[in-house]
Structure 1
Amino acid sequence: MIEYYQDFTVARDGIEYCAAPLPYRWLDVPNCYDLSKTHGMAQYLWFEIADFQARDIANSINELTIHARNFDAWQKILQGLERDEAFRVHHEFIRSNSIVALNLPYSIKSRFYYAISHLSHQANRVLHAENWQESHLPLDRDINQEIAAKISKGWKGWRKVASRLDRCDTGTFREGTLNFRNSYTHRHDVIIGLEATPPIKREATSTPNKTSYIVGGTKIMELSIISQLIKVEFDNFSRAYSAFQNLINEQKDALSTLEQPM
């Protein structure tokens, strides 16, 4: 199998990334904090969360460009292989990466909501201390879009982040990937780039007790098509990240009015 991976690296070297990576370490984090100040600890917590989450989300979004480039390269390799050999290559090199790549948009979107909820909560604790309680933020496992909206609604930048996130991981991506995340998690394995889906598919109609069965499997999800869908997700998430940066800067500016130097 080594020769196939060597062919892959040659093919990949001839393919450009779909876009430049998102920036890292753009947030100006203080070198030290005076924890004896009234808001010293709160500001420390906010900056630590903001710095980590900004890097983590940027890393995840940039990872989409890596997967798209790899899929384009592997598409070139699979085209010249017989079916049995193609399955060997897929199992060895493509399968695990495809599972991660097609679940990534859902994960990134969830991470945005998680990060924004925590950041807004910390900022609200300081700026609205008289009526903002720790209990306003639920346990991590319960944080979602609804919680992020509730906690962040008082911040001007939230509306643009929310609007741009609404364009990420939409029905277009799910339809184009044959609802991969749901199928893989709750139904059966799905092979990307090769025809290996269940031969029989049951479809229910809106009329009770009426169903139909599709025989012969479903269409192949070509790696090149998946790559294009992932590139679109990268573009959409990049716009959301830009709005996320603006929200972070808005909160930073608000916290800078306190006695602790920023």
Structure 2
Amino acid sequence: MNENFINTWVPNSELGRIRSLREPIAKRREREGKTFDTTHPLAQTIIKAWKTGSKKGSPVDCLVISPAFELMGRQLVNDLGKDSRNRGLQSDAYYLTFLKEALNGRQPGLGNLILTSDHPSQNVLDTFSTPIGDHQDYTVVVIDTIAFENGGTLTIDIEVGRGDGDGTFYLLNGDKKLSTKEGIFKDDILAWVWSASGETGQITHRFNQGQLFKLGITGYSDEEEVCVNAFRARISVEPAEKPEPM
């Protein structure tokens, strides 16, 4: 860490996360003549973190937030011991690793799907919805292939549910944004597939070095009302062969 790193505490209760405390806190603020601006970008990022990654409750969330108020990492204090043991590290060493991974853009604790040589494939079960007016809604899956230093082939096998709404699946580099207004720029799309309701599809993409990818999913329907459908995706990497030493 350096002089640009700021460590601060923001009680979840002050932001309204604990339902039973909302009324007492509101009365206390009224009595003291104080307000708490939950529309501030920092407050909004913290509230976003509650809905990102694990949905388990925890008395404290350790969050890494950029100067631009982007959520970079999340660690539940209740899971610190378990997560440390899973990585074979002491708690303090694991916490430092968590901070470093967040600052390196790996977004730990934010629900990313992490693929490694020991676990080269994982399944995702989620939903997507059709746009609301001009607002394009995306379901986003971040895929971490950083462990594959020599690259490989990323394959995404998709099954769309039988509900209303077809799905369009876009594969992007992890640093690309999914605009709810402007759509996706053609040059940002690495690969894509359209899968109608009840049908399957596949995306394949060859990459030369491990990185973060972003899978964005949105729906389409002829119905005027918003439609929601489910999808299942099996995401896997076939690693490239290591180059022979010269």
TM range, normalised to the smaller chain? under 0.3
TM-score (norm 2): 0.22
Q: Considering only CA atoms, is the larger Rg found in Structure 1 or Structure 2? A: 1
More helix by share: 1
Point out the structure with the larger strand share: 2
